[in-house]
A and B are shown apart, each in its own frame.
Chain A
Amino acid sequence: MENSQIIKITELVKDFPVGTGSFRALDHINLSFGKGEFAGLVGPSGSGKTTLLNIMGSLDTPSQGEVKVLDFNVGELSARESATLRKSKLGFIFQSYNLLPVYTVYENVEFPLLLLEFTAQERKKMVLDALEWVGLTPKMKSKPNMLSGGECQRVAIARAMVKKPMIVLADEPTANLDAENSHHILRTMEKLNRELNTSFLFATHDEKVISYLKRRIVLADGKVEIDEKTAITK
């Protein structure tokens, strides 16, 4: 893998068992992503974008082919190694935020740092920085059920970014948000991409997200149809 490449996908196939047969979700995908990319997997439901994102996030494994994330071959990692990769190098943002409901905003953002065993002092500084990036410092003591959808997603972004990961994988991050909140969080992610050089990989079919992408990969029926650099249209 070249130095600038953080993800390299070669001949990736993913089959899911369905009844006695199987369903091919990804069909011989070849892709690579460089550092600092702001790219999106675009396509309708069932096109395989979330499956691809999950494999890149080492939450799932390939049926065939090879996926290398930061030089780690996802298909060959043990459960513990996968967890370590996710814990230290990857950040996740989900469509429905997936915040831990009994924790406050501060505690939600602090959670990945607890897993990485940072000291209390380090954690505090990093959490406060992350909350400042997303503009949620005043709400750090609130619980998720006291926040709007946009605020929840900004907490999720802060949680994904707090450990300054190399790659953030965002699955339909704006699906539950209105236009104003969508633009707000996209601008936040764009800013973080620019300032911290973190790679953002999206799975989306939302035009608002697509308008922010610098690279668009269109998937259809598990195959890459288009892979192009895009002019930002927002």
Chain B
Amino acid sequence: MLSLKLAFKNLIGAGLRTWLNVFVLSLAFVIIIWHKGMLDGWDRQARTDMIAWECGGGQYWQQNYDPYDPFTLTESHAAMPGDAISKEKDGKLLPILISQGSIYPGGRIQSVLIKGIVPSQKILAIPSVVLDTGITEIPVLIGQHMAKANRLKIGDVFSMRWRTSSGAFDAADARVVRIFRSSVPSVDGGQLWVSLPTLQKMLNMPGQATLLVTSQGTINPVTFNGWKFKDLDFLLMDVTNIIKAKSASGVVLWFILLLLAMLAIFDTQVLSIFRRQKEIGTCVALGMTKGQVIRLFTVEGAMHSVFAIILAMAWGTPLLYLQATKGISMPVNSQDFGISMADVLYPVYSLGLVVTTTLIVFVTTTIVSFLPSRKIAKMNPTDAIRGKIK
């Protein structure tokens, strides 16, 4: 208690020197929380959006399907199992059929994935209901990045070509009925969404599908012969790994920030011990043990982090709150990034994040304050009183 009281007085008495350190430390403190909050926000947004737009509660893959090998697509379709059909009727399963094709917007050729989806489905956020329309062309739904890349807009008509199950080429005109916005590139870039019955008819694959997307919250999925269930851990593995890699590189940033702040504290402590030899000697003469003086200097150093936390709360809380509510516009196009990234990211600052960062900063500051303070133990008080220590 005495150490706290004296340390507080000493720090306040030191004036500008204290506040400079406190500011640097508060800067490190806020940036660490902000950076981690950004990654957590990105992680949460990516997972939420991928679940909502693509993964649902997990997917059954036809056993030949491999999304990373386009050559498997011609073999990656099968009739839906009987149990799956009843689940689809209950709205718990969504069949998706995938085929390769080409489109010819404005006279250019573009390879695409044609995906058939049930228009009335409610499992994914894709606005498939617009596909249920009676127009002469094939109604297609595309994402904004696909639209931008091919300069397509709602109402545009273009030629579309595909191969049927027998290997014959077929073609028809398609019309863009809606352009949706999604942060999930794998439902947008290079993809056309058409009605499942339409695609099954186009490909001559009645009742067949490539994927069966389960509704969110699916637990203990049943086994379908010839289909492999992929849970969310598997489906979100890419995004998890990228966030992990980003977090690892974030540690480097943390380390640099902490290092800068700790260097300031360490430097202050060393200078302080050198400049305050007389004070140390006087404290010992007045009855403090060297241990008490070491504790006093350590508490003084550690108290920088307490002040920094208060200062960081004062200027950091409104700033971080603003970012958490208004979001941060991302300068890069999410398609360029290759994984789900919204145009506006909302950082997530959890209590755990704040408490952990506070503890890390506090403990590190205390250790850094203690290290130079050990020099006091080697001081001869009679020399210290006269400020004669070299």
Using a CB–CB distance below 8 Å, which chain A residues touch chain B? 50, 54, 57, 59-60, 79-80, 83-84, 86-88, 92, 94, 96, 98-103, 107, 111-112, 114-117, 159
In the complex formed, the residue of B with least CB distance to A82 is B289
The answer to whether B9 and A59 touch across the interface, beta carbons within 8 angstroms, is no
Tell which of A60, A94, A115, A117 touches B288, judged by Cβ atoms closer than 8 Å. Answer: A115
B385: chain A residues at CB < 8 Å are 59, 94, 98
A79: chain B residues at CB < 8 Å are 289-291
> Whole-angstrom distance between the alpha carbons of A99 and B13 in the complex?
14
A103 in contact with B286 given A54-B382, A96-B278, A114-B6 (CB within 8 Å): no
The answer to whether A101 and B382 touch across the interface, beta carbons within 8 angstroms, is no
Tell which of A57, A96, A116, A117 touches B285, judged by Cβ atoms closer than 8 Å. Answer: A57
The answer to whether B288 and A100 touch across the interface, beta carbons within 8 angstroms, is no
A57 to chain B, nearest CB (A): 7
The answer to whether A87 and B10 touch across the interface, beta carbons within 8 angstroms, is no
Which residue, of A50, A83, A117, has the highest number of chain B Cβ atoms within 10 A?
A83
Extra pairs beyond A60-B382, A83-B287, A102-B10 (9, CB < 8 Å): A50-B382, A59-B285, A80-B289, A86-B284, A86-B287, A94-B385, A98-B385, A101-B279, A116-B287
A100 in contact with B284 given A59-B381, A59-B382 (CB within 8 Å): no
The answer to whether B290 and A112 touch across the interface, beta carbons within 8 angstroms, is no
A81 to chain B, nearest CB (A): 10
> Whole-angstrom distance between the alpha carbons of A114 and B279 in the complex?
16
Interface flags for B272-303 (1: CB within 8 Å of A; 0: not) read: 00000011011011111111100000000000
A86: chain B residues at CB < 8 Å are 284-287
A-B contact pairs, 24 of them (CB 8 A): A57-B285, A59-B385, A60-B382, A79-B289, A79-B290, A80-B289, A83-B287, A83-B288, A86-B286, A86-B287, A87-B286, A98-B278, A98-B279, A98-B281, A100-B279, A100-B282, A102-B9, A102-B12, A102-B13, A102-B14, A107-B9, A115-B2, A115-B286, A115-B288
Count of A-B contacts judged by CB separation below 8 Å? 69
B13: chain A residues at CB < 8 Å are 101-103
B380: chain A residues at CB < 8 Å are 60
In the complex formed, the residue of A with least CB distance to B387 is A96
The answer, yes or no, to whether B151 is at the interface (CB within 8 Å) is: no
- Interface size, chain B (Cβ < 8 Å): 26
The answer, yes or no, to whether B181 is at the interface (CB within 8 Å) is: no
> Whole-angstrom distance between the alpha carbons of A50 and B385 in the complex?
12
The answer, yes or no, to whether B5 is at the interface (CB within 8 Å) is: yes
> Whole-angstrom distance between the alpha carbons of A96 and B279 in the complex?
11
B278: chain A residues at CB < 8 Å are 96, 98
A80: chain B residues at CB < 8 Å are 289
Top 7 closest pairs, chain A to chain B, by CB: A102-B13, A87-B287, A98-B282, A83-B289, A86-B287, A92-B285, A54-B382
Query: Which residues of B, 1-36, contact A by the 8 Å Cβ criterion?
Result: 2, 5-6, 9-10, 12-14
A88: chain B residues at CB < 8 Å are 287
> Whole-angstrom distance between the alpha carbons of A59 and B13 in the complex?
28
In the complex formed, the residue of B with least CB distance to A88 is B287
Which residue, of B10, B380, B381, has the highest number of chain A Cβ atoms within 10 A?
B381
A64 to chain B, nearest CB (A): 18
A111: chain B residues at CB < 8 Å are 286
A100: chain B residues at CB < 8 Å are 279, 282
> Whole-angstrom distance between the alpha carbons of A221 and B45 in the complex?
82
B387 to chain A, nearest CB (A): 8
B9: chain A residues at CB < 8 Å are 102-103, 107
The answer to whether A83 and B284 touch across the interface, beta carbons within 8 angstroms, is yes
B6: chain A residues at CB < 8 Å are 114
The answer to whether B10 and A114 touch across the interface, beta carbons within 8 angstroms, is no
In the complex formed, the residue of A with least CB distance to B293 is A83
A144 to chain B, nearest CB (A): 11
B386: chain A residues at CB < 8 Å are 96
> Whole-angstrom distance between the alpha carbons of A83 and B279 in the complex?
16
A94: chain B residues at CB < 8 Å are 282, 285, 385
The answer to whether A59 and B284 touch across the interface, beta carbons within 8 angstroms, is yes
> Whole-angstrom distance between the alpha carbons of A79 and B284 in the complex?
10
The answer to whether B5 and A114 touch across the interface, beta carbons within 8 angstroms, is yes
B287: chain A residues at CB < 8 Å are 83-84, 86-88, 112, 115-116
B10: chain A residues at CB < 8 Å are 102
> Whole-angstrom distance between the alpha carbons of A98 and B281 in the complex?
9
In the complex formed, the residue of B with least CB distance to A55 is B382
> Whole-angstrom distance between the alpha carbons of A102 and B282 in the complex?
14
> Whole-angstrom distance between the alpha carbons of A54 and B292 in the complex?
20
> Whole-angstrom distance between the alpha carbons of A83 and B10 in the complex?
22
> Whole-angstrom distance between the alpha carbons of A84 and B285 in the complex?
10
